[in-house]
Structure 1
Amino acid sequence: MAISERRRQFGLSLLVSALMASAPSAIAQELPKVLVMGTYASELPSEELEKLDPLREGLEKRLAALGFPIKIDIVIFPTYEEAVVQVARNKVDFARMGPANYVLVKRQNPGLKLLAMETKGGAKQLTGYISVPENSPVRKLQDLRGRRIAFGEQNSTTGRYFPQAALVEAGIFASDLSGYRFLGRHDKALSALAAGSFDAAASNEVSFEKYGVVRKFRVIHTMKSPAHAWVVRSDLSPLVMEKLRQAMLATTSAELSGLKRDGMSAGSDSEYEQVRQAMKTAVRFIE
């Protein structure tokens, strides 16, 4: 073998060795010690934390098994609006967003990536209800004319946009009611209905099962929406995002029991087009 050829191969060997030696340090520099998970309080903040803690533990274990020993902290924003603002500003690494809030946050920061969608029985779907007391004479949406309705938060999918869109499609507008209010959370809307302050309330299925069923509230309208979205900040390392996606898609039903979900699935932005249309229709409620 010519001396020049031996030198070339020796040089290539040194280059490969150098790259292999530098790879772990490059990954170490890219690997954060902590990831911050964000969401908002649709019920009491302490209850939201309790529901998410099993998922946090599961994600930490799976990330460690993938060679990424990262600690996860949870931040519960007090309002939907604050969550949208902070997630859009990349103030958390990944976040759980309701369907309408996903649409809103993507408007502010199109660079956010959809990590996964929650599932129940294999369906990427969320259910909400408009309910009334058991002895109420109200049987359908049209019967709410001249009555009072309690909504949740102004940016809520099942607490505002979908119920208001349903009312508009039924020919009921704000001016047709004797009153309505946004009470900030699903549980508060149902509690106000129980107290007799309102004739009907809009809520998601989780709060209804917890607070509505025991009070024997009767459902007069059911709403179906795309499920909650999990997004990652626009500038998160692609390597970390891919490992987080793998850990998220392997989530167990036990880890999601508090959220009344049983799995995670890949999703696409186009699956939220139904939400965008409902939000446009809901705007007409106050015309």
Structure 2
Amino acid sequence: MKKYCLGLLLTFCVQQPALADVELVFGIYTSDKATAMVKQFRPMLNVIETKMTSKLGEPVQIRMQISKNYQEGLNDLIDGKFDFARFGPASYILAKEANPQITLLAMESNNGSKTFNGVICVHSNSTIESVNDLKGKSFAFGDENSTIGRYLSQAYLAQHSIISKQLEHYSYLGRHDKVGTAVATEQFDAGALKENTFKKLVKKGAPLKAIAYFENVTKPWIASATLDEKITISLQETLLSITDPNALKAIKKDGFLLATDSDYKKIRMAMADTQFFNE
């Protein structure tokens, strides 16, 4: 009898498949140093893993993958190599244009707001006091797909009657910290970067001062078009419920907010604005 029961038990165990882990790839591109980005986002991913494991009733594991630049990250999301990602607004818009099935999960909350600032900075010893003084000067932009590092800063310059041909020269340097460092070492007269990176560099002793601020929309978290609907819904609900102070402090935000595509209307307008390149 014991042998019979044991046989039934073994048969049952063999027939029942083991509970498979949900393995997700979180994608991000290097707007700052890769090591700094791992330190910044791993605590948040750990919280997401724990919450989704509880919500789904099965183990969730998230691997972080950092693309070397904005375009590579964009391609990886469009091609389904990322399951979900944290991009800048401009990259979200480009991804959505390439694949309309990409899902907007949530947007970051900045003290309850959906906006934060970009900065135009110069060397602290510079005689440049405003953007009106930039004619004939050199300018460092970020990545060619960067919301702050390109689209919004170029639109801001054009609104203040500074267009490309009036600059001595300009270049796209990629990461925000590279822009700040290039201005601090006087390789360029001025540059555009996000306010958090500007403050971080100044705190470390970089000789920089801000001459202008402009408003940006907080970053969206988005899901690949190939991600299972059940996982997508769970991920969105998880993001909107996160209150962990350490994870939020690491990304310098206080939570997540519901987002719609219309939240990024002003970014679309800036991307379509070509005044900076007028002849």
- TM, length-normalised to structure 2: 0.89
Residue 43 of structure 1: aligned partner: 32
Residue 12 of structure 2: aligned partner: none
Structure 1 residues 210-225: aligned runs within 5 Å: 210-213=200-203, 214-225=205-216
- 1:247 paired to 2:247: no
Structure 1 residues 30-69: aligned runs within 5 Å: 33-66=22-55, 67-69=57-59
Residue 228 of structure 2: aligned partner: 237
CA RMSD of aligned residues (A): 1.7
Structure 1 residues 14-25: aligned runs within 5 Å: none
- The amino acid across from 2:147 in the alignment is T
Distance in 2 (alpha carbons) for counterparts of 1:69 and 1:56: 14
- 1:153 paired to 2:143: yes
Distance in 2 (alpha carbons) for counterparts of 1:253 and 1:205: 21
Work out the percentage of aligned pairs sharing the same amino acid.
34
Shift of 1:233: 1.1
Distance in 2 (alpha carbons) for counterparts of 1:212 and 1:107: 37
Aligned residues: 259
- The amino acid across from 2:145 in the alignment is N
User: Do the aligned residues in 1 keep the contact of 2:181 with 2:206 (CA within 8 Å)?
Assistant: no
Correspondent of 1:201 among 191, 198, 219: 191
Distance in 1 (alpha carbons) for counterparts of 2:122 and 2:239: 37
User: Do the aligned residues in 2 keep the contact of 1:118 with 1:124 (CA within 8 Å)?
Assistant: yes
User: Do the aligned residues in 2 keep the contact of 1:130 with 1:203 (CA within 8 Å)?
Assistant: yes
- The amino acid across from 2:189 in the alignment is D
Residue 3 of structure 1: aligned partner: none
Shift of 1:216: 4.5
Larger radius of gyration: 1
Distance in 1 (alpha carbons) for counterparts of 2:67 and 2:23: 18
- The amino acid across from 1:159 in the alignment is G
Residue 85 of structure 1: aligned partner: 75
Deviation readout 1:39-63 (Å, 9 max, x if unpaired): 1000111111111100011001111
Shift of 1:109: 0.8
Q: Please give the secondary structure, in 2, of the residue aligned with 1:64.
A: helix
- The amino acid across from 1:36 in the alignment is V
Distance in 1 (alpha carbons) for counterparts of 2:135 and 2:215: 23
Distance in 2 (alpha carbons) for counterparts of 1:193 and 1:253: 34
- The amino acid across from 1:54 in the alignment is P
Distance in 2 (alpha carbons) for counterparts of 1:165 and 1:64: 44
Q: Please give the secondary structure, in 2, of the residue aligned with 1:225.
A: strand
Residue 256 of structure 1: aligned partner: 248
Q: Structure 1 residues 246 and 187 mapped into 2: Cα distance closer, same or farther (>3 Å)?
A: same
Q: Please give the secondary structure, in 2, of the residue aligned with 1:184.
A: coil
- The amino acid across from 1:141 in the alignment is V
Residue 162 of structure 2: aligned partner: 172
- Structure 1: runs of 5+ lacking an equivalent: 1-24
Distance in 2 (alpha carbons) for counterparts of 1:41 and 1:238: 28
User: Do the aligned residues in 2 keep the contact of 1:89 with 1:109 (CA within 8 Å)?
Assistant: no
Distance in 1 (alpha carbons) for counterparts of 2:256 and 2:245: 9
Q: Structure 1 stretch 214-223 or stretch 161-170: which is displaced more? A: 214-223
- The amino acid across from 1:255 in the alignment is A
Distance in 1 (alpha carbons) for counterparts of 2:117 and 2:140: 17
User: Do the aligned residues in 1 keep the contact of 2:122 with 2:184 (CA within 8 Å)?
Assistant: no
Shift of 1:205: 1.6
- The amino acid across from 2:23 in the alignment is V
- The amino acid across from 2:264 in the alignment is Y
- 1:284 paired to 2:275: yes
Distance in 1 (alpha carbons) for counterparts of 2:147 and 2:54: 36
- The amino acid across from 1:47 in the alignment is A
Q: Structure 1 residues 113 and 32 mapped into 2: Cα distance closer, same or farther (>3 Å)?
A: farther
Shift of 1:258: 2.6
Distance in 2 (alpha carbons) for counterparts of 1:37 and 1:138: 41
Residue 130 of structure 2: aligned partner: 140
